[in-house]
Amino acid sequence: AAEKTVLKERIRRLLKERGAVLVAHYYVDGELQDLAEETGGCVSDSLEMARFGRDHPAKTLVVAGVRFMGETAKILSPEKTILMPDLDATCSLDLGCPADEFAAFCDAHPDRTVVVYANTSAAVKARADWMVTSSIGLDIVAHLHAQGKKILWAPDKHLGSYIQKKTGADMLLWQGSCIVHDEFKGIELDLLKAEHPEARVLVHPESPANVVALADVVGSTTQLINAAVSMAATTFIVATDNGILHKMRAAAPGKRFIEAPTAGNSATCKSCAHCPWMAMNGLQNLADVLEGIGNAGANEIHVDPEVGRLAVRAIDRMLDFAA
């Protein structure tokens, strides 16, 4: 504990000395989330992380999250230095959608408007007409559908089919998934609901359809936290990465949060409701990356300027729509 206190003090000092701001996701270690908030940075969902990073005047952003979040920050602010505690922190959705295969998929369906989820590489975003996050994907696809557009969607099949069902849009889906949310089990969730009939069920839309079907609220991490705060219920079953419980408990003290069931044992469960890549962000590597600012190779995110120039169009469309 003493070691952690020293590390946190070092991080606070270095952020100030280097004029850097910390932008964190709700799935990273709770201590990093708290540090981001108390030092004037932010902790939020992917949409708000993108907006906050773009609008903040700091020349250096340290993104505690996964690689696509760092890349989005860089694409929106090419003039800023974007650092991450561990550049190997990726995402199964990003890994499951290689840019060359994705380009071939798009080439085969030139009549479709290409909508990609934020959880993709810069090169995939460069090929898209729109980028969306979980908080706004439904609204954007509904808008495109109302204009008579046919959609090519990538990479998350669960989020894609949820949006497809809700909007009735014609959507051709890439077959990717999140290894964390894929582990939630509908049958077990149904049993847990029966044990806690008073509980409300909060589900991230990267979860399988039979889990989403049992939800009282489906939404992004920020939307799920807001629901936990605003709903009258005092018990919630939560189907998303359990890193979110840190903020939910702080934002809704006195309420009870139960993790939704996963496949359940470490032999079969690849992730057990916590993203292994989000978990690569820690106090030690955050402090180290801040210490290294100014030195070559300090875990800096680079995006090819031409790729960035193409990708920013898809991101800006979303941000303009959200504004």
Which of 159, 277, 280, 314 binds ligand SF4 (CB under 6 A)? It is 277
Q: Per CB under 6 A, which of residues 3..62 are in contact with ligand SF4?
A: none
Stretch that binds ligand SF4, among 52-60, 172-180, 259-267, 281-289 (CB under 6 A): 172-180
Which of 29, 71, 206, 259 binds ligand SF4 (CB under 6 A)? It is 206
Neighbours of 98 (CB within 10 A): 14
Which of 29, 48, 86, 241 binds ligand SF4 (CB under 6 A)? It is 241
Which of 178, 202, 289, 311 binds ligand SF4 (CB under 6 A)? It is 178
- The listed partner (ligand SF4, ligand 13P, none) that binds 277, CB under 5 to 8 Å by sort, is ligand SF4
Tokens 């964390």 label which residue?
180
Query: What distance in Å separates the CA atoms of residue 113 and residue 262, rounded to the nearest whole number?
Result: 35
Q: Per CB under 6 A, which of residues 214..233 are in contact with ligand SF4?
A: none
Measured in degrees and rounded to the nearest 5, phi and psi for residue 167 equal -100, -20
The H-or-E segment that residue 151 falls in is strand 151-154
Neighbours of 234 (CB within 10 A): 12
- The listed partner (ligand SF4, ligand 13P, none) that binds 318, CB under 5 to 8 Å by sort, is none
Binding of ligand 13P at residue 178 (CB under 6 A)?
yes
Bridge partners, 259 (sequence order) = 238
Q: Tell me: cis bond preceding 155? Omega within 30 of 0 counts.
A: yes
Which alpha helices (H) appear in the chain, and where do they start and end?
2-18, 30-38, 46-55, 67-76, 92-95, 99-108, 122-126, 137-146, 157-167, 186-195, 209-212, 221-230, 245-251, 283-291, 305-322
Is 118 assigned a ligand-binding role in the annotation? yes
Q: Which residues contact 38 (CB under 8 A, 6 or more apart)?
A: none
Which 3 state secondary structure label does DSSP give 276?
Answer: coil
Query: What distance in Å separates the CA atoms of residue 155 and residue 177, rounded to the nearest whole number?
Result: 7
What's the gap between Cα 63 and its chain centre?
A: 12
Pairing of strands 113-117, 130-132: parallel
Q: Per CB under 6 A, which of residues 104..143 are in contact with ligand 13P?
A: 119, 133-134
Is 119 assigned a ligand-binding role in the annotation? yes
Is 27 assigned a ligand-binding role in the annotation? no
Burial of 100 (0-12, 13-18, 19+ CB in 10 A): exposed
Q: Per CB under 6 A, which of residues 98..127 are in contact with ligand SF4?
A: 119
Which of 29, 45, 86, 259 binds ligand 13P (CB under 6 A)? It is 45
Both tokens assigned to 178: 């999140």
Give the nearer residue to ligand SF4 in terms of CB position, either 113 or 271.
271
- The listed partner (ligand 13P, ligand SF4, none) that binds 179, CB under 5 to 8 Å by sort, is ligand SF4
Which of 66, 76, 84, 124 binds ligand SF4 (CB under 6 A)? It is 66
Which 3 state secondary structure label does DSSP give 250?
Answer: helix
- The listed partner (ligand 13P, ligand SF4, none) that binds 220, CB under 5 to 8 Å by sort, is ligand 13P
Binding of ligand SF4 at residue 278 (CB under 6 A)?
yes
Is 145 assigned a ligand-binding role in the annotation? no
Residues making contact with ligand 13P (CB under 6 A): 45-46, 119, 133-134, 178, 204, 206, 220-221
Binding residues for [4Fe-4S] cluster: 91, 178, 275
Residues making contact with ligand SF4 (CB under 6 A): 66, 91-93, 119, 178-180, 206, 241, 275, 277-278
Binding residues: 25, 46, 91, 117-119, 134, 178, 204-206, 221, 275
